A = this chain, B = another copy of it.
Amino acid sequence: MRLSRYFLPVLKENPAEAQIVSHRLMLRAGLIRQASAGIYSWLPLGFKVLRRLEEIVHEEQQRAGHMPMLMPTIQSAELWKESGRYEDYGQEMLRITDRHKRDMLYGPTNEELITDIFRNAVNSYKDLPLTLYHIQWKFRDEIRPRFGVMRGREFLMKDGYNFDLTMEDALHAYNRHMVTYLRTYERMGLKAIPMRADGGPIGGDYTHEFLVLAETGESEVFYDSAVTDLTLGDRDIDFDDVDQCRAIMEEFTTPYARTDETHDEALFGAIPEERRRTARGIEVGQIFYFGTKYSEPMGATVVTENAERVPVHMGSHGIGVSRLVGALIEANHDEKGIIWPEGVAPFPVGIVNLKQGDAGTDDVCESLYGQLIKAGLDPLYDDRNERAGSKFATMDLIGCPWRITVGPRGIKNGVVEVTSRRTGESEEMSAEAAIAKLTTLLADR
């Protein structure tokens, strides 16, 4: 993309209404713009990040055999009355009356709707196991929306639902989801720790939240530092392998890690002192096993091999996709702006032309731009007539992980400069070497 043709309305000043750094940077870097309280428009740069996160979520869910679909945003109140949650949900549910005076609502979650789809379509144990999920906008009418997309009213969420014949199968689905979530966050460059959680309005006998450590987190968390050393890396995972998924779940949940809701002072005290940590965390996902809580009252049953009719065992699983953009920035920024992890950067490489209009620098920039596009690296070329300082400031603010700087002096020596946004380190090399280096570094993206 050529910056001269891109819609990137960056702000010079810090917006007064933004209290936390991610909100400030998302406004300043032209990622979002508030439409009304707690409701945002995603400008091209922000939309690109959001779309990238969606892609990663889709890929990791489908890798585990989960089926993408899409439920609508507006639901009838009928199903919620059937499950008994219509009254429970309180004022956070956006209630709507349509022109025929029917009670509708903007879905805050989809247990009822998916259970209804299941009970109408599935009748036999042979069609299990089944996991359906979607990535859809939700609405929660927060009394005091704040912190930008971190606590907005309209937000994008992946929510998935598993249907299994037995508790044992459903617990495999639980573990399998934990593995997919760990993979998802790792690919995004985030360290998200699974912590024992509380069921809340969804309910659930087993539930873990995934928290990203950040000073601005809404939850106080307590953990054994051993948990932050764990990574999945590129190990080969067979999502049908019950033992392997259980072993990974155990590996990641054995070290103590809890939020203040489930914190146990005695267990925490038993951790060697040098590994005891207290911090703040941002919740970016949660998984639940809740058995027959919805299937029983709503009649979501299957016929077993022995011709018995039994309610299915269910769980649900959520990833806060729009909120993740904020969490990523909270965990990856400095005083100059955002520092995108390579896996989620909207533009992984920026090109800065120090002397726009100079035949020499223009030529090298155009050639680099063309070759990077060909290599699939989606570069952002700052081809505007601006001072070098202003171009550097923009690249730093919007957080391109790699910058290639092209100036007349370097060209005389046959080199360009490659700079890492994260470390600030620069290296001079030929344009060809720069392309080879970045192609290798960004190969996994």
Q: Is A67 an interface residue (CB 8 A)?
A: yes
Tallying the copies of this chain within the complex gives: 2
With A35-B75, A75-B35, A132-B7 as contacts: A69 and B40 at CB distance below 8 Å: no
Confirm or deny: A252 has a beta carbon within 8 angstroms of a beta carbon on chain B. no
| A71–B137 touching, CB < 8 Å | no
Residues A73 and B73 in contact in the complex (CB < 8 Å), given A96-B96, A132-B7:
yes
Separation of A231 and B58 alpha carbons in the complex (Å) = 36
| Residue of B39, B43, B72 touching A74 (CB-CB under 8 A) | B39
Q: Is A367 an interface residue (CB 8 A)?
A: no
Measured between beta carbons, the chain B residues less than 8 angstroms from A99 are: 91, 141, 143
- Residue of B30, B44, B78, B154 touching A68 (CB-CB under 8 A): B44
A113 to B41, CA, bound (A): 9
Are A117 and B67 touching (Cβ within 8 A)? no
Task: List, in ascending order, chain B residues with CB within 8 A of A122's CB.
Answer: 9
**Counting CB contacts under 8 A, is A5 at the interface?**
yes
The answer on a CB contact under 8 Å between A36 and B75 is yes
Looking at the complex, which one of B30, B69, B130 makes contact with A41 (CB distance below 8 Å)?
B69
B65 adjacent to A35 (CB under 8 Å) = no
Given contacts A91-B99, A143-B99, A154 and B41 within 8 Å (CB-CB): no
Q: List B contacts of A98 (CB < 8 A).
A: 94, 141
The count of residues in chain A whose C-beta lies closer than 8 Å to any C-beta of chain B is 54
Report Cα–Cα, A41/B72, bound state, in Å.
6
A176 to B: closest C-beta gap in Å: 14
Nearest-CB residue, chain B, relative to A155? B72
Q: How far is the CA of A323 from the CA of B73 in the complex (A)?
A: 17
Question: Closest CB-CB distance, A59 to chain B, in whole Å?
Answer: 13
Asked if residues A71 and B35 are in contact (CB atoms below 8 Å), the reply is: yes
The residues in A between 70 and 125 inclusive whose CB is less than 8 angstroms from any CB of B are 70-76, 78, 91, 94, 96, 98-99, 102, 104, 106, 113, 116-117, 120-122
Which of A39, A68, A99, A122 has the most chain B CB atoms closer than 10 A to its own CB? A99
A154–B72 touching, CB < 8 Å: yes
Q: Is the C-beta of A42 less than 8 angstroms from some C-beta in chain B?
A: yes
What residue of chain B has the Cβ atom nearest to residue A75's Cβ?
Answer: B35
A50 to B295, CA, bound (A): 29
User: In the bound complex, do residue A113 and residue B68 qualify as a contact, i.e. CB atoms below 8 Å apart?
Assistant: no
In chain B, what residue has the closest Cβ to A93?
A: B99
| A47 contacts B by Cβ under 8 Å | yes
Most chain B beta-carbon neighbours within 10 Å: one of A40, A46, A50, A141: A141
Interface mask (A25-53 → B, CB under 8 Å = 1, otherwise 0)? 00000100101100111111011101100
A-B contact pairs, 29 of them (CB 8 A): A7-B121, A7-B130, A9-B122, A33-B120, A35-B72, A35-B75, A35-B116, A36-B76, A36-B78, A39-B72, A39-B74, A41-B70, A41-B113, A41-B117, A42-B69, A42-B70, A43-B69, A44-B132, A47-B134, A48-B68, A72-B154, A73-B73, A73-B137, A74-B94, A74-B154, A94-B98, A96-B96, A99-B141, A137-B137
Taking A35-B76, A91-B99, A99-B141 as given, write out 13 further A-B residue pairs in contact, using a Cβ cutoff of 8 Å, ordered by the A residue number. A30-B121, A33-B120, A35-B116, A36-B74, A36-B75, A39-B76, A40-B72, A41-B71, A44-B68, A44-B132, A47-B68, A74-B94, A74-B139
Interface residues, chain A, CB within 8 Å of chain B?
Answer: 5-7, 9, 30, 33, 35-36, 39-44, 46-48, 50-51, 65, 67-76, 78, 91, 94, 96, 98-99, 102, 104, 106, 113, 116-117, 120-122, 130, 132, 134, 137, 139, 141, 143, 153-154
The 9 A-B pairs of least Cβ separation, nearest first, read A9-B121, A36-B76, A42-B70, A44-B67, A41-B71, A91-B99, A39-B72, A47-B69, A72-B154
